[in-house]
Each structure stands twice: as C-alpha cells, then as structure tokens.
Amino acid sequence: MKILVPVKRVVDYNVKIRVKADGSGVDLANVKMSMNPFDEISVEEAVRLKEAGIATEIVVVSIGPQQAQETLRTSLAMGADRALLIKTDETVEPLGVAKLLKAVVDEEQPGLVIVGKQAIDDDSNQTGQMLAALLGWPQAAFASKIEVEGDEATITREIDGGSQTIKVTLPAVMTADLRLNEPRYASLPNIMKAKKKPLDTKEAADYGLDIAPRLEVLSTAEPAARKAGIKVETVAELVDKLKNEAGVL
Ligand code: AMP
C-alpha cells in the first residue's frame, strides 16, 4: 500500500510571531520556517507503517514556494521515499490545497492519505476533511492510534473529554493528532541519503484548477498584552480580592 503525506512549510513553532504594522498579516521576513509539527507526526506514522510491513511506499507532497523543498527533504530524511513539490508563491487556502491533493491522489492512487490535523499558521483544520469530501472517501480526523488490517483501518480519535474508536475501509483520509506518536529526528546519514531521493517539481498552475483564495483578511492583531500582577499584604486581602474583584470564589 502506498501512503501519501502532505507536508506544509510553516513558521517554526518556536518563533515569536510579529504582526505586520498595517495588520495585513504576519511578518515572514527572516523568520525560521519548518515542517508543520502535525505533518511530522503524519510522516512518522507513515514510516512506522512501512517499518511494520504495511506500507510499501511513502510519497510526500508540499504546495508552496521553492523553499518548501527543504521541508520535503526533511520528510525524505525521516524515511519517506519520494517527494513532489507543487510550486506556487501565492497563498493557497485549504480548499485549493484539497483540490490539488485530490489531483495527486488521482495520479498516485494511495491506499491512505495521512494529513496533519491542522497547520499551525492558518489554524484552519479543514484540508483533510475537504480532501475526503472531494474524493468521496471515508475520513478519520484527529487520529491518536492507527491500526491497519487488510483493507480496513481501526482508528482511535481524540474527542472532547475522551476518545472514540472507529473502523474505516481503505482508501481513506486520516488526520494526525498530537498523541499519535513522537516523531523521530532525522540522523545525519539519513539526511545525506535523502539528498539522493527523487524530488519532482510541478507548477500549481499546470493542474488547471481554480485555487484562487475565497477569503479576504480584514485584520490581524497580536493578543492583548498581559497586565502586570499586584502584591497583596495578607491572605485575607487575597481572599477578598478573589471574591469581590476576580469573582472566582
Ligand atoms: P489546515 O487545514 O490548513 O489547518 O491544514 C491541515 C493539513 O493539511 C496540514 O497539516 C497539512 O498536512 C495539509 N496542508 C495544508 N496546506 C498544505 C500545503 N500548502 N502543502 C501541503 N500540505 C498542506
């Protein structure tokens, strides 16, 4: 079985985000970019399924600028076999991404697509669900455990206050949640080997799909700054403030 894993290049999760002065978006100049953390989890899961003899090939795909090649190389160093960069310098929203991914699925015919549950830049949490809908395939979102047997998969899903176990028939789309696994670090020899693995590049425009943005960003704002704390003299004063000012007692 072939597994397709979409990986997105996003602002590194450790970076302190700066909003552009005109509020039109986030300042990306000289900012460290990395693979979306949920996509690292998806790649790891695919590699584990290959190590377990369930998957035969892992194809990773990224939609983005030329530099997204680095994200693909990282996936190859983690254990993916082949990569495809769908190049564009424009913003592609989840619906556009899902349309392009559907075209890749039609071409590659994977048995499983493991998408990250959410990209940490747009926080949309839409792409996997939209892709499943466009394909007419079953979906298992927020997976924290994946077990594949024949043409079925049993998935444990993270839900509010607990978990849910469902069975889907393959091919299917799954989205990876935080607890699915802990991704490995690519070793130096594997980083070197990844340089020789195949990486194809195509232009997004060549797919002939309508991937124009549907949304207009009206404003972007930093979270309100935290107010400084105060010192109280006595426990009685603290209790009084918690009761009468904060209203938490
Ligand atoms: P989102 O719906 O934007 O929160 O993204 C959810 C997931 O969709 C990500 O974790 C990726 O697996 C995939 N995805 C979104 N955008 C891209 C992209 N430009 N290239 C590759 N995969 C993407």
Q: How much distance in Å is there from the Cα of 247 to the middle of ligand 1?
A: 41
Residue 111 falls within a domain, yes or no?
A: yes
Q: What Cα–Cα distance (Å) separates residue 211 from each residue in 95, 137, 163?
A: 7, 21, 35
What total of structural domains would you count in the chain?
A: 1
pLDDT value of position 223: 85
Tokens of 72: 């693909």
Looking at residues 116-130, what average pLDDT do you find? 96
Q: Name the burial class of residue 86, with classes exposed (0-12), middle (13-18) and buried (19+) by CB atoms within 10 angstroms of its CB.
A: buried
Element (H, E) at 83: strand 82-87
Which range among 76-90, 113-127, 212-226 shows the weakest confidence by mean pLDDT? 212-226
CB 94 within 8 A of CB 100: no
pLDDT value of position 32: 96
Looking at residues 10-24, what average pLDDT do you find? 93
pLDDT band of residue 224 (cuts 50, 70, 90) is confident
Residue with the nearest Cα to atom 17 of ligand 1?
A: 8
Q: Is the CB of 116 under 6 A from ligand 1?
A: yes
Q: Is the CB of 36 under 6 A from ligand 1?
A: yes
Give the CATH number for residue 53: 3.40.50.620
Decide if pLDDT at 226 tops 90: no
Q: Is the CB of 118 under 6 A from ligand 1?
A: yes
Q: How much distance in Å is there from the Cα of 23 to the middle of ligand 1?
A: 24
Residue 210 falls within a domain, yes or no?
A: yes
Q: What domain range includes position 46?
A: 2-244
Percent of the chain having pLDDT more than 90?
90
pLDDT digits (tens, 9 = 90+) for 134-181: 999 999 999 999 999 999 999 999 999 999 999 999 999 999 999 999
If one residue of 4, 34, 36 were mutated to test the ligand 1 pocket, choosing by the most ligand atoms within 8 A of its CB, it would be 36
Q: Is the CB of 91 under 6 A from ligand 1?
A: no
Residue 33 falls within a domain, yes or no?
A: yes
Residue 249 falls within a domain, yes or no?
A: no
pTM, 2 dp? 0.92
Q: Please state, in angstroms and rounded to a whole number, the distance separating the CA atoms of residues 134 and 47.
A: 26
pLDDT digits (tens, 9 = 90+) for 103-119: 999 999 999 999 999 99
Supply the mean pLDDT for the chain. 96
pLDDT value of position 83: 98
pLDDT digits (tens, 9 = 90+) for 50-104: 999 999 999 999 999 999 999 999 999 999 999 999 999 999 999 999 999 999 9
Decide if pLDDT at 249 tops 90: no
Residue 120 falls within a domain, yes or no?
A: yes
Q: Is the CB of 126 under 6 A from ligand 1?
A: yes
